Amino acid sequence: MLDRVLNLDRKAPIFGRQDGAPAGWAASAAPVPYPEAVAAMEARAAAIAEGRAGELVWLLEHPPLYTAGVSAKPGDLLDPGRFPVFDSGRGGQYTYHGPGQRVAYVMLDLTARRRDVRAFVAALEAWVIGALGRFNVTGEVREGRVGVWVERRTAGAPAREDKIAAIGVKLRRWVSFHGISLNVEPDLGHFSGIVPCGVTEHGVTSLVDLGLPVTLDEADAALRASFETVFGPTVADTAPL
């Protein structure tokens, strides 16, 4: 599906800017509270749409919390008192954010790239899959299930699929915000307070859960290299918070 949507035989970045300008790349050193992060994202997205700021990919961690996307079902919040719960304007259902999970908020100008929402989501999936590939992890997408999945096989047991990365975005004036979250080494037990993304028949995993002692810095390097393959060049920038 990805190659059909994105035309992956191209040698240029598959979702690059028409002018080739780099996107800013920044990381916050300390966990960022969710409301402050959303406010900073929305302000930056507005500035991008008005031509007052450049594009930005912002890497961060959040304190433990749950967020509800626009399609969230109340019954999928299984333990509402466990962590703070925030309504989110992004697509999707409930998800968890917390330490050990790399969140990447993606503020890109699709007018300067390609006004194609389906291709944009496929490009985000390709970005995550490319990053996982640098650790020899095969990430896959599934029809009807947003995000990136890993098939796991154990001798004598049926194969299972676990989610390793979530994707949820919003567009305003053709500028994106929200983005992706990659499980590097979060406490996977924290996902038990929700039905992650509304999917009951599959689980969640992380790079460390797969037996790979990957640090956040190593994950960041893989994400940046893969992003440049999919979306084009980056340049160091300052994190909003």
Tell me how far CA of residue 77 lies from CA of 72, 191, 226, in angstroms. 9, 10, 33
Cβ atoms 122, 128 nearer than 8 A: no
Sign of the C-alpha dihedral computed for residues 5, 8, 12 and 15 taken in this order? positive
Q: In which region does residue 173 sit, left (phi positive, over 0), alpha (psi from -120 to 50) or beta (all else)?
A: left
Active-site option among 122, 197, 199, 230 = 197
Burial class (CB in 10 A: 0-12, 13-18, 19+), 9: exposed
DSSP 1-70: -HHHHHTTT-SS-TT--TT-PPEEEEE-SS---HHHHHHHHHHHHHHHHTTSS--EEEEE---SEEEE-T
* Integer Cα distance of 228 and 225 in angstroms: 5
Cβ atoms 126, 141 nearer than 8 A: no
CA-based nearest residue to 57, from 22, 89, 87? 22
Is 197 noted as a catalytic residue in this protein?
yes
Residues forming the active site: 197
